[in-house]
Amino acid sequence: MLEIDQIDVFYGDLQALWNVSLTVQDGEIAALVGSNGAGKSTLLKTICGLLRLTHGSIRFNGLQLDKTPAHQIVQLGICVVHEGRRLFSEMSVLENLEMGAFNAKARKKKSEMTAWVYEIFPRLKDRKNQTAGTLSGGEQQMLAIGRALMSQPKLLLMDEVSLGLAPILVRHIYEVVKEINRSKQITIFLVEQNVRLALEVADSGYIIETGSIVGHDKANLLLRSDHVKESYLGFGQMQREK
Amino acid sequence: MSFVESIGQSLIYGILVGTLYGLAASGLSLVFGVMRYLNVAHGALLMIGTYLAFSIFSRYHIDPLLSIPIVMFFLFLIGMFLYKLMFSSLAKYPVGIRIDNSLLISFGLMLVLESLATIIWSPDERNITTPYSGMTFSFLGLRIPYVGLFGVVLTTVLIFALHLFLNKTYFGKSIRAASQDWESALTVGINIEQTYFFSFAIGIALAGAAGSILSFSYAFSPAISEGWSIKALIVITLAGLGRIGGVFAAGLVLGVIEAVSVYFIGASYQQVVGLVLFILLLMFRPQGLFTRKGGGASSSAENLPSASYTFSQKISISEGFSFNALKEAITEKRFFIIGILIVACCLLPLIIRSDYLINLFILLFLYISITQSWNILGGYTGLISIGQSAFFGIGALSTRLLWMSGAPIFLALLAGGVSAAVLAAMIGLPSLRLRGVYFAIGTLGLAIITGVIVHNVFPGVSFLPAKYLASFTLTPRYYVALVLMLVTIGAAYLLVNSRLGLGMIAVKEDEIAAAATGINTFKCKVLALAVSTFLAGLAGGVYAFYSAVYYYFVPFELIWSFEPVLIVIIGGAGTIIGPILGTIGYVALKELFTVTIGRFSVPIFAILFIITVLSLPGGLVEATGKIRNWLGSYKIKKGGMQNVT
């Protein structure tokens, strides 16, 4: 579904991604994990057109994404949940959802989609006329996901959805992620610092370190691999102590 | 008329003008809110709208009430054109650069439009006389002019329409969305480029509407541009910068406060009210009048006061000027060259007998001084003052008045410098506590408003009394100007090479990082402001001393603000030598242009300026960095060669 082929991305003179290749299969949950500053968000921003690559290509169902203007990418069926929510904070919950269905195709099914989002997150319905900036962190995250779903994506990109939320909310959000994936066949590409959580939910996983992909496997295998255990889950030291 | 009636009448006039302020500011607020472009040419576009209505009226006899849609349409087209021509390329930069550069290019644009309008329509004041002009009706014993009533009704309708458009239509909502988070807007499929394009054009069309209404309500001339720009800027600051709502109410507040206070302080000082309001606002409610505190996650970082200089006071090694730096810098060879230049300048009046050339040199020295004074502030510290004329002017005014009243000239000059620094403190202390555009708006306001006041209070000319005139020669003025220039360059050099000077440069590069490394950023900014404005005031004083026939308002003209910015940016901001060379080139070129093309020289320089800012799009910082790198590599090359030999 999504094929990223040997891309290089720069911030000015600074290279952030080095020869990155990965594929996301139709219908799966794929996870890209790695530490702070590894290039995860850079990759997502490149996919949705906010950053431009200098080498390589990104294809979505055969269409070349890296030449498409950013505002048209959502029409192809890709939507992103930004890190830190990035809501339209002075607009109401309902208006935020409406903006999510901005493209012509989604606009037609706006009321249907709104009803569905309210079904997933009933809390949003209670607060539909409230200003988005005044919602709690968890509610804002729900709204950010809801807004992305309004565009009827085939592929949903999610950037650090667990960041800054209470553990119980994180679990709830991830339940929802699995549910969206299962019931609506929406492919999901997760980007996470919380390696264990992401790999537990995902089908396949990629590890990114300092701008390069260093590992790729089925998520459950990756979770048990020595590299992940040592680098991300803190088992390394325990093993050495044994 | 009783006291109550007078106040009531003032209130009425306040509401009438206040609604127009609201309408004028709503366009500016839309442009700033959505794109973070601070279009200080907004008032000039409003003035163009006024003259358009005037031309349609005088040529086709169409009532200005009816021509509003035509004017709005034309201004919409002008807005589209200007956006494509000048503003679209700024969209890809972060907010800080957008604000600074849009401010600079629109400042240039204002001068272009104003001077072209003066050429086309003459500087005379005009008005439109319609059948209903001057007719009033009585309401609760108060007189209300019909034109005012029409204005209020139209303004209200337009504001209401704008409100509906922004809140009820999909396109309007997408404009609001783009103003709140443009990256999110882009990823939900909003075409940001198109949104910016139309928002800008709509903003300009609103300026046109305000101009149309103004055309049949008040008298107008090309000079109204500046006043309306600053009113609109004050109104959007009252409403809370970056917020599209609340502007209309803020306009009403300004109008009513102004009108009522005119009753107490007189019309000459009417303009002061807006400025005082602005300063009070900066001190007590920088987030705007109608913004709930903490209401909404504020995405507009420039509204937040910087409270980051709490842990910065501790380090105190010897601060102030370091004379070692001077010793190091003046190596033998340089010392030789500088010495020769100074001696040459000293001997010049003995060799040259032409008064024309001496005058030109005095002018050159003056320009170098005022330019270098701006460079300390804008070039080194990154504080964009577009009100240097206020400091130059107040220095000139104080010096002239003291000198005329018999004080010794050197005391009068000193007083000029001090008065400029005091004036600067009034706007600087409140606005430098905040980050962002407040300083620029404040200084521009200061420049325009002091200009208007001086024009009202000292409308005439000051001739030299006979006893002064008898002893008036150019030579002492030449030497005073020369000393002024040397003092200014020396002060700038010593300051930027001192510890605090390094702090100033750090503030420009990254204010937060500077504060975090222990630099007292507020102190650095205030020091830069104090030195810069003192020098500008001194330069003003020398100008007052130099002019035999002295128009009080001339040193307050906005061109004195514009020229230093132009020269520093073209010459190289944040270097000592750049602005000096820039000034020499500029003064020569200006002299040439004044001789050959006369009144077109101002718009041509302004266009040149716009092109310069646009071709150095990374902002002042990048341009300076480029020049620094270039100079740096030159130095290394030179150093290396010296080691070899």
Chain A environment of B296 (Cβ under 8 Å): 89-90, 131, 133-134
Quick one: closest CA in B to A48, which residue?
B187
- Tell me what the mean pLDDT of segment B202-217 comes to: 95
Amino acid at position A24, single letter? V
B329 and B449 within one domain: yes
State how far the Cα of B270 lies from the Cα of B449, in Å rounded to an integer.
Answer: 9
Q: Which of A41, A51, A72, A90 to mutate to test the interface with B (most CBs of B within 10 A)?
A: A90
Is B310 within the bounds of a domain?
no
Q: Which of B271, B563, B220 is nearest to B445 (CA)?
A: B271
Quick one: closest CA in B to A150, which residue?
B188
Is B401 within the bounds of a domain?
yes
Question: Hey, is the C-beta of B195 within 8 angstroms of any chain A C-beta?
Answer: no
Chain A environment of B299 (Cβ under 8 Å): 89
B284 and B412 within one domain: no
Question: Hey, is the C-beta of A175 within 8 angstroms of any chain B C-beta?
Answer: no
Is B276 within the bounds of a domain?
yes
State how far the Cα of B177 lies from the Cα of B182, in Å rounded to an integer.
Answer: 7
Query: Smallest Cβ distance to A100: which of B176, B188, B243?
Result: B188
Residue A160, token pair as written in the block: 């650090």
Chain A environment of B180 (Cβ under 8 Å): 88-91
Query: Smallest Cβ distance to B186: which of A50, A98, A133?
Result: A50
Asked whether the beta carbons of residue A90 and residue B181 sit closer than 8 angstroms, the reply is: no
Confirm if A228 and A215 have CB atoms less than 8 A apart.
yes
∠ CA(B283), CA(B286), CA(B289), 5° rounding? 110
Predicted confidence (pLDDT) at residue B276 exceeds the cutoff of 60: yes
pLDDT grade for B310, boundaries at 50, 70 and 90: very low
Chain A environment of B297 (Cβ under 8 Å): 89, 133
B550, B552, B554, B557 alpha-carbon torsion, rounded to 10°: 170
For residue B46, the domain's CATH number is 1.10.3470
B267 and B159 within one domain: yes
Domains in chain A, please, with CATH? 2-77+153-241 (3.40.50.300), 86-150 (no CATH)
Asked whether the beta carbons of residue B189 and residue A151 sit closer than 8 angstroms, the reply is: yes
Quick one: closest CA in A to B178, which residue?
A88
Q: How many Å lie between the alpha carbon of B240 and the closest alpha carbon of chain A?
A: 14
Average pLDDT over chain B reads 84
Is B120 within the bounds of a domain?
yes
First to last CA, chain B: 90
Amino acid at position B341, single letter? L
Question: Hey, is the C-beta of A50 within 8 angstroms of any chain B C-beta?
Answer: yes
pLDDT in tens, chain A (242 residues): 899 999 999 987 889 999 999 999 999 999 999 888 889 989 999 998 889 999 999 999 989 998 899 999 999 999 999 998 899 998 999 999 999 999 888 889 999 999 999 999 999 999 999 999 999 999 999 999 999 999 999 999 999 988 888 999 999 999 999 999 998 899 999 998 888 889 999 999 999 999 999 989 999 998 888 888 888 887 766 655 55
Question: Hey, is the C-beta of B317 within 8 angstroms of any chain A C-beta?
Answer: no
Question: Hey, is the C-beta of B183 within 8 angstroms of any chain A C-beta?
Answer: yes
User: How confident is the model at residue A176, as a pLDDT?
Assistant: 92
Q: Which of B572, B582, B425, B574 is nearest to B504 (CA)?
A: B574
Amino acid at position B477, single letter? R
- Tell me what the mean pLDDT of segment B490-494 comes to: 91
A85, A87, A89, A92 alpha-carbon torsion, rounded to 10°: -120
pLDDT in tens, B379-410: 888 888 888 999 999 999 999 999 988 888 88
Query: Smallest Cβ distance to B184: which of A88, A98, A133?
Result: A88
Domain endpoint, select from B247, B267, B289: B289
Quick one: closest CA in A to B294, which residue?
A134
Asked whether the beta carbons of residue B174 and residue A95 sit closer than 8 angstroms, the reply is: no
pLDDT grade for B457, boundaries at 50, 70 and 90: confident
Asked whether the beta carbons of residue B184 and residue A86 sit closer than 8 angstroms, the reply is: yes
- β-bridge partners, B462: B550
Is B316 within the bounds of a domain?
no
User: How confident is the model at residue B462, as a pLDDT?
Assistant: 81
Q: How many Å lie between the alpha carbon of B292 and the closest alpha carbon of chain A?
A: 12
Q: Of the ranges A159-173, A211-225, B462-476, B485-499, which one carries the lowest mean pLDDT score?
A: B462-476
∠ CA(B243), CA(B248), CA(B249), 5° rounding? 95
State how far the Cα of B150 lies from the Cα of B19, in Å rounded to an integer.
Answer: 11
Q: How far is CA B62 from CA B126, B448, B532, in A?
A: 17, 34, 51
- Structural domains counted in chain B: 2
In which domain, by residue range, is B557 found? 323-644
Q: How many Å lie between the alpha carbon of A237 and the closest alpha carbon of chain B?
A: 35
Residue B228, token pair as written in the block: 């309306």
B460 and B602 within one domain: yes
Q: Is the pTM of the predicted complex or chain greater than 0.80? A: yes
State how far the Cα of B448 lies from the Cα of B602, in Å rounded to an integer.
Answer: 18
Q: How far is CA B502 from CA B496, B507, B620, in A?
A: 6, 9, 17
Other beta carbons within 10 Å of B343: 10
Domain endpoint, select from B289, B313, B347: B289
Question: Hey, is the C-beta of A130 within 8 angstroms of any chain B C-beta?
Answer: no
Percent of chain B with pLDDT over 70: 89
Q: Of the ranges A16-25, A135-144, B171-180, B328-337, which one carries the lowest mean pLDDT score?
A: B328-337
B354 and B271 within one domain: no
- In sequence order, what are the residues at sequence separation of 6 or more whose Cβ sits closer than 8 angstroms to the Cβ of residue B133? B127, B147, B216
For residue A39, give the DSSP letter: S
B351 and B229 within one domain: no
Question: Hey, is the C-beta of B176 within 8 angstroms of any chain A C-beta?
Answer: yes
- β-bridge partners, B426: none
Asked whether the beta carbons of residue A91 and residue B180 sit closer than 8 angstroms, the reply is: yes
User: How confident is the model at residue B298, as a pLDDT?
Assistant: 37
Residue B640 half-sphere exposure toward CB, CA atoms < 13 A: 6
Asked whether the beta carbons of residue A91 and residue B176 sit closer than 8 angstroms, the reply is: yes
3-state DSSP assignment of residue A213: strand
Confirm if B376 and B534 have CB atoms less than 8 A apart.
no
Is B318 within the bounds of a domain?
no
State how far the Cα of B101 lies from the Cα of B616, in Å rounded to an integer.
Answer: 9
Question: Hey, is the C-beta of B189 within 8 angstroms of any chain A C-beta?
Answer: yes
Query: Smallest Cβ distance to B180: which of A88, A100, A148?
Result: A88
Confirm if B88 and B193 have CB atoms less than 8 A apart.
yes
Query: Smallest Cβ distance to B186: which of A71, A87, A148?
Result: A71
A96, A97, A99, A100 alpha-carbon torsion, rounded to 10°: 120
Is B304 within the bounds of a domain?
no
Quick one: closest CA in A to B174, which residue?
A99
Q: At what angle do helices B521-546 and B388-404 cross, to 10 degrees?
A: 50
Question: Hey, is the C-beta of A34 within 8 angstroms of any chain B C-beta?
Answer: no
Amino acid at position B58, single letter? S
Query: How many residues appear in chain A?
Result: 242
State how far the Cα of A218 lies from the Cα of A214, in Å rounded to an integer.
Answer: 14
B328 and B270 within one domain: no
Is B300 within the bounds of a domain?
no
State how far the Cα of A40 lies from the Cα of B284, in Å rounded to an integer.
Answer: 42
Chain B environment of A80 (Cβ under 8 Å): 187
B423 and B279 within one domain: no
Question: Hey, is the C-beta of A86 within 8 angstroms of any chain B C-beta?
Answer: yes
- β-bridge partners, A9: A17, A53
Asked whether the beta carbons of residue B188 and residue A147 sit closer than 8 angstroms, the reply is: yes
- β-bridge partners, B301: none
Quick one: closest CA in B to A83, which residue?
B184
State how far the Cα of B369 lies from the Cα of B311, in Å rounded to an integer.
Answer: 36
Q: Of the ranges B27-36, B77-86, B338-347, B474-483, which one carries the lowest mean pLDDT score?
A: B338-347
Chain B environment of A70 (Cβ under 8 Å): 186-187, 192
pLDDT in tens, B90-148: 888 888 888 888 988 999 999 999 999 999 999 999 988 888 888 888 887 788 888 88
State how far the Cα of B548 lies from the Cα of A22, in Å rounded to an integer.
Answer: 78
Residue B92, token pair as written in the block: 């890809």
Q: Which of A102, A108, A149 to mutate to test the interface with B (most CBs of B within 10 A)?
A: A102
B327 and B284 within one domain: no
- Tell me what the mean pLDDT of segment B284-295 comes to: 66
Quick one: closest CA in A to B187, which residue?
A71
Backbone phi, psi, residue B528, to 5°:
-60, -45
State how far the Cα of B35 lies from the Cα of B97, in Å rounded to an integer.
Answer: 12
B284 and B336 within one domain: no
B344 and B212 within one domain: no
Q: How far is CA B329 from CA B199, B326, B497, B642, in A?
A: 51, 5, 10, 16
For residue B305, give the DSSP letter: B
Residue B505 half-sphere exposure toward CB, CA atoms < 13 A: 14
B376 and B498 within one domain: yes
